[in-house]
Amino acid sequence: MNTRWQPNVTVAAIIEQTGRFLLVEEHTAEGLRLNNPAGHLDPGESPLQACVRETLEETAYAFTPQALVGLYLARFQRPHAGTAASAIEDITYLRFAFCGTLGAWDAQRTLDTPIVRTLWLTADEIRNSAERLRSPLVLQCVEDYLAGQRFGLEVVHTHPSVQALQHPA
């Protein structure tokens, strides 16, 4: 049995236009929640590629990352699906949050299945919706963005071997 701890690596796009942030409303095990456009890093892709892909899949907008807002580590616990009521699923997320430029919207594109809709909210509206946020990282990323926290994309290095390896489908 492999007992080595492995965090789930995720990416998020922090997208602001005229004082409003692009969020998605999505179905989760905890009900409808608000999130930054975000998702898991897939095999063979860099965090930047994952962020571009996830933003397109969840919002139908093209996105070009310009800076890293931050790296975030969070732990989440919930009842483990399909097991005894006392079993707890313990999940840790390592999130790369990027800000950047929003591109064209593809009106023909269907959003990922769990996504209900996209919406633009002010920082205060996000703060006032804390109980509806997918995780506390949604607001933390927005607050760090508003505080001007930015790091050059060169701090996120992906070795060529990541894309060179073949991954099972």
What is the residue extent of each domain of the chain? 8-164
Nearest CA-CA partner of 14 in 142, 153, 160, 118: 142
pTM listed for this prediction: 0.90
Mean pLDDT of all residues in 75-93: 76
Reduced DSSP (H G I as helix, E B as strand, rest coil) percent helix, strand, coil of the chain, to 5: 25, 45, 35
Residue 125 pLDDT: 98
- pLDDT higher for 8 or 89? 8
Mean pLDDT of all residues in 4-25: 95
Per DSSP, 44 falls in state T
- pLDDT value at 82 more than 70: no
- pLDDT value at 10 more than 60: yes
Give me the count of residues in the chain: 169
How do residues 114-156 score in pLDDT, each as one tens digit? 999 999 999 999 999 999 999 999 999 999 999 999 999 999 9
Nearest CA-CA partner of 23 in 34, 39, 31, 12: 34
Say which CATH topology domain 8-164 has.
Answer: Nucleoside Triphosphate Pyrophosphohydrolase (3.90.79)
Instruction: Supply φ then ψ for residue 88, to 5 degrees.
Output: -115, 135
